[in-house]
């Protein structure tokens, strides 16, 4: 059975992490994926968590029976700048201490780095993971990694290859559905995304899913989105509710059932705060109806 996790990003401006634990339980979620927030683990910054916050979150988890299953940090451990890379490894080490204190068993990360300096970034990534392997193994924490748009690797195949290069049972791949059209390597002349092929390529390295819908930025000769100035070095996508996009969800869920996927599935809809509760409930119900789980 899959574990359905809530990414409470839409509640970050109003609620503390402890309050998000209670909100998640109210919405029916037993598990949380904690995405970046300034008072916990912020993008590229040292985690701002003290023992009092840890105690509050532990108490909330005891009171609700809902637990944080994953952290979802964005630390630039693949930075081409060596001083920055070292700072990001330091951030990682502190986050692993916090995960251990809260009994969080998995970290869901991004490759980060610079797509315009991909070879240097890849070398820096492997340097960082080599330094962090003893920390992950000491705490017994798993890690999944995705190729996020504008990371040094942005396609499904390349990300899976990089994961295989690490060659650790606890280090695996996360497929992010709202990034599908980037992961497929799509361009205005090559639209669409073959989800089955990408999931098959990941094989037994597929251990985590991020679930939200997205429109195909490559459709209509690339005119679905207009970015100025033309040719600017940027990436576009959304994290919408299932049905508010162009992913073939009937086929996607069928493919996951056929492969008997039973790992975590994170609900990660962003940018719809005015209807957040209803969207998150509907997302959870759809996933459970398609894949079973808790």
**What residue segments make up the domains of the chain, in order of their start?**
3-291
Residue position matching structure tokens 């990089």: 162
Instruction: Give the residue from 16, 80, 86 showing the smallest Cα distance to 48.
Output: 16
Q: Is 114 exposed, middle or buried (0-12, 13-18, 19+ CB in 10 A)?
A: middle
Instruction: Give the residue from 113, 212, 186, 197 showing the smallest Cα distance to 157.
Output: 197
Give residue 189's pLDDT. Answer: 46
Cis peptide leading into 229, omega within 30 of 0? yes
Task: Provide the CB-side half-sphere exposure for 249 (13 A, CA).
Answer: 19
Measure the N-to-C terminal CA separation of the chain; round to a whole number of Å: 7
User: Which CATH number is correct for 3-291, 3.20.20.150, 3.40.50.1860, 3.40.50.11030, 3.30.70.360?
Assistant: 3.20.20.150
H or E element, residue 26:
helix 17-26
Residues 6+ apart with CB under 8 A from 53: 17, 18, 39, 40
Give residue 273's pLDDT. Answer: 85
- Full pLDDT tens readout for the chain, 294 residues: 899 999 999 999 999 999 999 999 999 999 999 999 999 999 999 999 999 999 999 999 999 999 999 999 999 999 999 999 999 999 999 999 999 999 999 999 999 999 999 999 999 999 999 999 999 999 999 999 999 988 999 999 999 999 999 999 999 999 999 999 889 875 444 445 689 999 999 999 999 999 999 888 677 666 677 777 777 777 677 788 999 888 999 999 999 999 999 999 999 999 888 999 999 999 999 999 999 998
Q: Report the alpha-carbon distance of residue 129 to residue 227 in Å, rounded.
A: 35
Give residue 185's pLDDT. Answer: 78
- Residue 143 DSSP one-character state: E
Angle subtended by helix axes 249-258 and 195-202, to nearest 10: 30
Instruction: Give the residue from 256, 270, 272, 275 showing the smallest Cα distance to 2.
Output: 256
Contact criterion met (CB below 8 Å) for 47 and 90: no
Give residue 220's pLDDT. Answer: 67
- The DSSP result for 179-236, as a single string, is GHHHHTT-BTTB----HHHHHHHHGGGEEEEEE-B---TTTGGGTTS--SSTT-S---
Residue position matching structure tokens 């193994």: 137
Give residue 90's pLDDT. Answer: 98
Give residue 53's pLDDT. Answer: 96
Contact criterion met (CB below 8 Å) for 8 and 264: no
């Amino acid at each position: 059975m899959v574990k359905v996790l809530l990414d409470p990003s839409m509640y970050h401006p109003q609620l503390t992490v402890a309050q998000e634990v209670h909100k998640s339980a109210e919405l029916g979620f037993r598990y949380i994926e904690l995405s970046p927030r300034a008072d916990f683990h912020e993008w590229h910054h040292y985690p701002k968590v003290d023992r009092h916050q840890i105690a509050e979150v532990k108490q909330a988890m005891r009171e609700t029976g809902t637990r944080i299953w994953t952290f979802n940090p964005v630390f630039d451990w693949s930075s081409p700048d060596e001083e920055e890379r070292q700072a990001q490894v330091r951030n990682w080490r502190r986050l692993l201490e916090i995960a251990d204190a809260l009994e969080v068993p998995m970290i869901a990360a991004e490759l980060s780095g610079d797509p315009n300096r991909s070879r240097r970034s890849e070398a820096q990534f492997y340097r960082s993971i080599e330094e962090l392997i003893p920390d992950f193994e000491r705490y017994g924490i798993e890690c999944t990694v995705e190729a996020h748009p504008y990371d040094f690797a942005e396609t499904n195949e390349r990300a899976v290859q990089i994961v295989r290069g690490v060659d650790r049972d606890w280090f695996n791949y996360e497929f992010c559905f709202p990034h599908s059209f980037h992961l497929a390597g799509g361009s205005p002349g090559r639209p669409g995304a073959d989800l089955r092929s990408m999931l098959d390529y990941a094989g037994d390295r597929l251990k985590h899913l991020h679930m939200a819908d997205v429109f195909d930025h490559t459709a209509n000769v690339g005119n679905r989105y207009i970015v100025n100035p033309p040719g600017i070095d940027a990436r576009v996508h959304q994290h919408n509710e299932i049905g508010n996009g162009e992913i073939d969800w009937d086929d996607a869920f069928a493919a996951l059932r056929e492969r008997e996927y039973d790992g975590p599935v994170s609900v990660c809809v962003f940018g719809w705060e005015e209807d957040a509760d209803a969207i998150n409930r509907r997302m959870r119900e759809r996933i459970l109806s398609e894949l079973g789980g808790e």
